[in-house]
Structure 1
Amino acid sequence: MSESQKLSPPERLEKIIKDADAFFSAAESSIDRSISYGESESDAFWNQLPDALRDVGSGIINEIISFASDMAIAIRRSPFLGEEDERQAGLALKTMRAAIRLRRYRFWDSEVLHDEGTYIGMRRAEQDDSEPNPPMLSRRQFNDGAEKLRPIVEFSIDGKELDHHPLSKLTSSTGYRPGTAFIMMWISKDIPELIDVVDTIKRCCNKFSIIALRADDIEHSDVITAKIVEEIRTSEFLIADLSGERPSVYYEIGFAHAIDKRVILYRKAGTPIHFDLAAYNCPEYNNMKELESLLTKRLTALTGREPKP
């Protein structure tokens, strides 16, 4: 077993991300930006790197390949994940691997072909990583893949290890804390509207003497995932905003459903709902006034109380 394989999956992923960040920084200073290349020159940017830096990149690629193999096993053993998660993890890791090689990874899913309503065949799923990609864009592609992979990695808990895992005590059927709510939503300080959303939800909850928290409100010394799961398990109310289609939000909702917790769902108008939540009631809002009205009505019905002025 290598040293990296002794790390937990989240720790191992973060090490890969850290190593990749240093690699891209070095690669950006090694590339001649004045030269343009065609799509057929797959390794045009890679070949500009010094031999020592290519060796570093190859080492990261080998670690990603090893990690992909171990993750496939972990996902199959996890009580929280399934085949679709394994598929998404595979795509994310291929994206990251191609990015280190300074190539662009693209994937096209299978598609049923129609002509004016008549079935004419099926287009098979395809993938391609032959197009060269400069370090700056490759870094962005790598980070996008890592962001999609993170929530899957965090929930890749081997069912045989649950008794010894920090999450084990959080999945029991113990009670909840009355008058509490946990908010599951996209978190970004760079998007003012998201601040308005969380403030609106907290204000609504306060009308019913409910203390609402979001992940970034929680003081913790443990792994953030474990603390989030504890909040999901023990909060009386769970409120989720699907706006932004964040993978982490979907996984938190999935965990709540797995332990038979009801989640109050909302989304900004125009936000699509992924198939796994399509059967659930998820009202749309156009502005904060609508969100406040919808949530106030919902909490009135759930609590049997009128809101405080």
Structure 2
Amino acid sequence: MIEAAAARLAGHVRETPLLSAPGLDRIAGRRVLLKAECLQHVGSFKARGGWAAVSALDAGARGVIALSSGNHAQGVARAAAAFGLPAVIVMPADAPAPKIANTRALGAEVVLHDRATEDREALAAGIADARGLTLIRPFDDPQVIAGQGTAGLELAAQAAAAGVTQADVLIPCGGGGLTAGVALALAARAPGLRGRPVEPEGFDDTARSLASGRIEVNDARAGALCDAILTPSPGRITFPIMARLCGPGLVVTEDEALRAMAAAFEHLKIVLEPGGAVALAASLFHGDAVTGDAVIVIGSGGNVAAETFRMALRQSGEMQ
């Protein structure tokens, strides 16, 4: 399915680069390679899963509906527009304003909800039934997972070209679509590379689930900077894949994510959002939990509000 998705995505998504900088290597104490999915269409890897899912729909599809805090929203909206399909996106009202605005700019209808008190699944199901729309889930969807896995196919080839065949691959993780997809691709193409999910403190459901062997649920639903990866629990499709193929999960603080954002800007000249920077944060500040002379990280998205980015730069400056 990943290879089939890659064929459908050809010419419609970017092959994002694998970046490095001596300054990051010095901080981490090892070689750091970052796959810059923040340079992908719509600013995140979600362009892959969105296109993979929409391009696999039956010819009679009447439109799509998606649940998203902003990145999956834009990926699905972009693909739906290209295929001439209406798109409705159910988004939390506290999502960053640029994500809401960009989703609407791509032609989607945005329905806002309260992340802490409203059941977004029930809301989306009601709209889907009333309008005959196809639901595209943000991570627990086979075609979405396959689309995200195309990043893993690229990464396997890029790492080999860089001379890295044994390394941990740190992956920002919400529900696990990217982590599961990349882990599947690496298992087939680069078995010496091991996926490791990375989450923000307080929303470490995947790390706890991998440790316990069963799906764990977060108590909190909102209230953190890493909005792109705040999910209640790993998916029922994604968790077994991660449990089979991934190493233990890693957890970083919000301060570490902000510092990683500043480091990516300073040393790589790229913009990461907080959720997209957690893997880099783990490589820089939790090196004792990572094995090998090199570490690969995915910078999964760059859709950050200006004030949040300024906060990251200010905080980093105060710490120096």
What TM-score comes out, normalization by structure 1 length? 0.31
Greater CA radius of gyration, 1 or 2? 1
Alignment TM-score, normalising by the size of structure 2: 0.30
Choose between structure 1 and 2 for higher RCO, CA contacts under 8 A separated by at least 6 residues.
Answer: 2
